[in-house]
């Protein structure tokens, strides 16, 4: 404490500096949402795409200072606190591994990766490098969801025995949902919302799992129950 007894105010740590990996629609929506928050708290400082022109157009649209034509350039940007990864599902493992290995914190668009083995690899890399890794389920932060979890934890709803979830979207025209090469399918692409809610409300990892569904002609799951 300095003379006179007054404490020196702590300096502000400054905004969280975001890098955006991918210049598609999902990254667009993420940045639109992020820009509703005070710039003193969050700032997008760089974006990368496989095509430099797309990255530059994205940067112009949102007033982002730096644009890169490769993900590796973004990974080497030392002025980032965290990278949001919004690329297609099969690219989550290699891009996530790239940023984590470079010591960058990662917010990964859901699903974290294509299967448990890939998720385990990302988690192991994050732990090895000692950096933050999180799957981007936005619904986890809805006030209504947080209130529901609190009620369950307090026992206000008794002991939950059954969770029934339903997602009804007309996405027949969305190519990525029916293409195995893009890790499409009802469960992997959208079903994670209901699965993670069930796990949170019913007490963790289930002892057994059974799946029933309908397959699309391409081989992806087109409906599950």
Report whether pLDDT(10) > 60: no
pLDDT value at residue 5: 45
pLDDT digits (tens, 9 = 90+) for 72-83: 999 999 999 999
The pTM (predicted TM-score) of the whole model is 0.86
Instruction: Select the more confidently predicted residue: 54 or 164.
Output: 54
CB 181 within 8 A of CB 218: no
pLDDT value at residue 191: 81
pLDDT value at residue 12: 58
Out of 121-125, 170-174, 203-207, the most confident range is 121-125
Q: What is the mean pLDDT of the chain?
A: 88
Instruction: Select the more confidently predicted residue: 178 or 51.
Output: 51
Domains annotated on the chain, with CATH: 16-136 (3.40.50.720), 139-202 (no CATH)
pLDDT value at residue 223: 66
CB 148 within 8 A of CB 141: no
pLDDT value at residue 224: 57
Out of 41-50, 135-144, 193-202, the most confident range is 41-50
Mean pLDDT of 125-153: 94
């Amino acid at each position: 404490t300095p003379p006179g007894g007054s404490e020196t105010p702590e300096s502000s740590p400054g905004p969280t500096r975001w890098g955006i990996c991918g210049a598609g629609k999902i990254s667009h929506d993420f940045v639109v949402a992020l820009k509703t928050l005070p710039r003193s708290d969050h700032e997008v400082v760089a974006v990368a795409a496989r095509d430099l022109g797309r990255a530059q157009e994205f940067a112009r649209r949102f007033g982002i200072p730096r644009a890169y034509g490769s993900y590796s350039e973004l990974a080497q940007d030392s002025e980032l606190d965290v990278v949001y990864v919004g690329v297609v599902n099969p690219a989550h493992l290699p891009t996530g591994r790239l940023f984590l290995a470079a010591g960058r914190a990662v917010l990964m668009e859901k699903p974290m990766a294509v299967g448990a083995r890939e998720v385990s690899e990302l988690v192991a890399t994050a732990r090895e490098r000692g950096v933050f890794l999180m799957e981007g389920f936005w619904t986890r932060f809805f006030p209504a969801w947080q209130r529901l979890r609190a009620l369950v934890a307090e026992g206000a709803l008794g002991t939950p025995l059954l969770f029934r979830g339903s997602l009804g979207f007309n996405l027949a025209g969305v190519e990525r949902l029916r293409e195995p090469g893009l890790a499409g399918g009802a469960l992997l692409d959208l079903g994670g919302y209901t699965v993670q809610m069930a796990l949170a409300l019913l007490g963790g990892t289930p002892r057994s799992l059974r799946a029933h569904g309908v397959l699309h002609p391409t081989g992806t799951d087109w409906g599950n129950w």
